[in-house]
Structure 1
Amino acid sequence: MPESDDQQLVNLLTEAVDGLLYMSESDYPFSVFLWHLPEPLTLQAVVAQARMKKSTPASVIPWEQFIEPLLDPAQKTAERYQRVKALLTEHLEELQVFRLGKVEVNTYIVGKTGSGSQVGLSTKSIET
């Protein structure tokens, strides 16, 4: 049985982020996920999917605001982030970045696949 396009994208992203850390006051790896949530994707739906309390501070930031600092050529990881960006923008629509939490911030980069599922990356940052 051939893999679905969604699963192929999950596999490509898993390879692309292998060993890549998101730098903040502490460094965290990325995880790849595949969700099947109803549309439109809301902040409340992401909070629920992340199994966080409804009262968790949460916000949405533009995709570009998240990715641009990571593409700085002075960063050693810029080429790897360029690959991640290419995969996400080539295969997903409606990319959004959801930030859940205050000091320990869970970040979900989510986009819609051609089949209507959501694929993305999650990581964590520490912001004091």
Structure 2
Amino acid sequence: MTNEITEKLRKASEGLLMMSESEYPFEVFLWTDQGQNNLTNQKLLQLTTHPLETLIEEVELDYLFHNCAEEKEWHDEGQKQDVQKFQTLIKTLKDTLADIKVYRLGTVKIDVYVVGKTPSGDLAGISTVLVET
């Protein structure tokens, strides 16, 4: 079941780049047996191998994708297709994971983790990088 979820996330995020000052692809992750307890900031930093003093900001899923998943009238055909892919990615996340949280770790080069619980008690999701100077 969990493999099915990570495969769906992989397919939904394939070929997409997160837009910021730099464009990074998405990576799917699975943290086995980590969904029983609430994910603390300290646990998140351990799972992602970040230093304990790393700044963590939590944002809404829709906020993370607000520039990517909304069609604008000036978009060309390729951009419109990307918007649809981002909408599919968001739907896939919401359909396959429970209790989704979005964490931004660090400043300037920000590691982003979209984390949710699988039915089997694992944590899974997608990660990417944002560059904000």
TM-score, normalised to structure 2, is: 0.87
After superposition, what is the alpha-carbon deviation per residue over 1:17-38, rounded to whole angstroms, capped at 9, x for unaligned? 1111001000000000111225
Q: Counterpart of 1:81 in 2: which secondary structure?
A: helix
Structure-2 residue corresponding to 1:62: 60
Q: Match for 1:84 among 70, 82, 89? A: 89
Gaps of 5+ in 1: none
> How many residue pairs get matched?
124
Gaps of 5+ in 2: none
Tell which has more relative contact order, 1 or 2 (C-alpha 8 A, sep 6+): 2
Structure-1 residue corresponding to 2:129: 124
Q: Counterpart of 1:96 in 2: which secondary structure?
A: strand
Distance in 2 between residues matched to 1:96 and 1:28, nearest whole Å: 20
TM-score, normalised to structure 1, is: 0.91
Alignment RMSD? 1.2
Q: Which amino acid aligns with 2:126?
A: L
Aligned structure 1 segments of 4 or more residues deviating by more than 3 angstroms: none
Task: Using the TM superposition, give the Cα deviation of residue 69 of structure 1 relative to its aligned residue in structure 2, in angstroms.
Answer: 2.9
Q: Match for 1:41 among 39, 61, 77? A: 39
Distance in 1 between residues matched to 2:87 and 2:114, nearest whole Å: 15
Structure-1 residue corresponding to 2:23: 27
Query: What percent of counterpart residues are identical?
Result: 32
After superposition, what is the alpha-carbon deviation per residue over 1:97-121, rounded to whole angstroms, capped at 9, x for unaligned? 0110101100000111111111100
